[in-house]
Amino acid sequence: MKAKDWNSLIHEVPADRLLDVMAVLYLTNPSEDAVKVMSGLGGDDESSDVIDRVRLEYHDLFIGSESGAYIPPYESLLRERRMQGECSAQVREVFEREGFDPAELECEAHWKLMSAPDHLGFELAFLSVLLRSAELPDAERESLLATARAFHGEHIATWAREYGEQLLNTAKTVTYKTLGRLTMAVAEPGFLD
């Protein structure tokens, strides 16, 4: 897909749903259905017989291996070159203030054991929760949307584009190349407009 097609796509799908799908792909080993969806979006149908290769790549990219493909999905590592940096503390503070607990998310046990809240999957899930909450009856819509925009601008927009580009350039499967492209697109400043 051309760049403008990705921008159209992200505005055709409700933002909270897109962010949920992306968060799941960062936080869990992909299901066969997820691989089919991402392959279709990527314009190159990756048949279900590659599921083992995609699942191996999940571990290589996000958890670490000797393959050289490891790209840690943490804001503080990309922005500050250290774990548990200032970014991590800021994200933790926002999550606590808003009552968001990443440990309640459905994700691999590995992520629940980590104490770093600035994982890209957690940040995307948080944005999704804010957007969904803003649509509930009696919600303080403008306040929730302001929080979402501020969090996006201070966190997602500051590092996720670069991370998505690294993912796009490192990934071998259509599933993770597509996730890299989507990550770059949602990191754009106007994504929540």
Cα atoms in the 13 Å half-sphere on the side-chain side of 157: 12
pLDDT for 1: 46
Give residue 46's pLDDT.
58
pLDDT of residue 137: 86
Between the alpha carbon of residue 145 and those of residues 78, 89, 126, 183, the distances in Å are 26, 22, 12, 20
Which residues are within 8 A (CB) of 22 and not within 5 positions of it... i.e. 6 or more apart? 121, 124, 179, 182, 183, 186
pLDDT truncated to tens, each residue of the chain (193 aa)? 444 466 666 667 889 999 999 999 999 999 888 888 787 776 665 565 688 889 999 999 999 877 889 999 999 999 999 999 999 999 999 999 999 999 899 888 888 777 789 999 999 999 999 999 999 888 799 999 999 999 999 999 999 999 999 999 999 998 999 999 999 999 999 899 8
What angle is formed at CA 139 by the lines to CA 138 and CA 143, rounded to 5 degrees?
140
Count of other CB atoms within 10 angstroms of residue 191: 21
- 71 Cβ contact partners less than 8 Å away, ≥ 6 residues apart: 61, 62, 163, 166, 167, 170
Sorted by sequence, the CB contacts under 8 Å of residue 62 that are 6+ apart come out as 26, 70, 71, 72, 73
Phi, psi for 33 (deg, rounded to 5): -65, -40
How much is the pTM?
0.92
CB 125 within 8 A of CB 142: no
Q: How far is CA 25 from CA 110, 121, 172, 179, 188, in A?
A: 14, 8, 15, 8, 20
Are the C-beta atoms of residues 192 and 152 closer than 8 Å to each other?
yes
pLDDT of amino acid 5: 61
Q: What is the dihedral of CA 64, 17, 163, 120, to 10 degrees?
A: -60
